[in-house]
Structure 1
């Protein structure tokens, strides 16, 4: 119940960020050029991407710092019935509006395990794998601030790699994808 409540709250809150980083006039290329503003002569970095464990949008940056499989009963998955793929990451807020690490994650990433020949297998969110973030996962990040967080996804098997797909906000253009091998 608590897991569903947290996920629902994060999803509802993420709707406010749905357009973050999306630029409908530039749908064909994920990398944008840097621009200089005339009034301040300050360079604004508009490059967006997902590569080398890092997703960058105009409004935020997420750096994946660690991944691992946690079996049921082990620390970080004490109450789960299935093994989970745990992800630790850092979120940096690049704009004046507050962003929390959970909303940022859900706005940017889809997580699949491609083990179904007929349908896309999106993984279910598991319980928080690191209790250090229990009280901070929904705190707003100040502009240019960076905070750590973690998330876990319930695995359907222990063979098929997990694929993270980064998008420019909910329903936005795909920035890229990365496969993560299941290491035991």
Structure 2
């Protein structure tokens, strides 16, 4: 009888020890599974971050203002020249005249002047203010006639034309900052400084 009890006790101990061993294995497997899941999650997260970075890099290449060229989804505007004109019979103020090349990259008709006004703002800074400059009357010099006519003409998709715009200068001698944005109230893409001296 004692032998039977001893055998039963040993069997129970063996089962308990075996169960503990299996529990440790199960815990080990669970730990490995959790560890693998965490690693997979980190890899996926890293891939997602990488994807976001690539998306951001691709977006920044599609929309930018650099080297005097503004690129937005629907158009490309390349600044080609400037002139400061003094007050005359048509304009009470001096003007900053900017010539530019406009390419319609959309599938709709677009007007160069409307696109320029939507994507660029000119301002002058004083000690206490930053004053927005008004778009001025079209420059009347004969060399700008064709560009003036093109400013508010519908341009076909894929076409490139030359146009002109002017801003009335508030403070002669102070620099003008031209700020490029991605459309009205859009993200700022860069600036260009024009000296007026």
The within-5 A match list for 1:7-22 is none
Secondary structure of 2:132's match? coil
| 1:123 pairs with one of 128, 133, 136 | 133
| 1:144 pairs with one of 147, 158, 166 | 158
**What is the root-mean-square deviation in Å for CA atoms of aligned residues?**
2.2
TM superposition outliers: structure 1 runs of 4+ over 4 Å: none
Tell me the equivalent position of 1:100. 111
Distance 2:114 2:186 in 1: 15
Looking at secondary structure, tell me which structure has more helix per residue.
2
Distance 1:132 1:97 in 2: 22
TM-score by length of 2: 0.65
Distance 1:32 1:67 in 2: 33
* Uncovered stretches (5+) of structure 2, i.e. residues with no partner: 1-52
Secondary structure of 1:50's match? strand
Distance 1:108 1:66 in 2: 17
Secondary structure of 1:136's match? helix
| 2:125 pairs with one of 114, 117, 136 | 114
Distance 2:61 2:67 in 1: 18
Higher relative contact order (CA 8 A, sep 6+): 1
| 2:95 pairs with one of 66, 84, 104 | 84
| 1:71 pairs with one of 86, 90, 98 | 86
User: Quick check: which has more Rg, 1 or 2?
Assistant: 2
Distance 1:142 1:88, change over 3 A: same
- Count residues in correspondence: 140
Tell me the equivalent position of 1:155. 169
| 2:188 pairs with one of 171, 174, 177 | 174
> Contact 2:148/2:163 (CA < 8 Å) preserved in 1?
no
Distance 2:90 2:154 in 1: 28
Tell me the equivalent position of 1:24. none
* Uncovered stretches (5+) of structure 1, i.e. residues with no partner: 1-28, 36-44
TM-score by length of 1: 0.69
Distance 2:182 2:123 in 1: 17
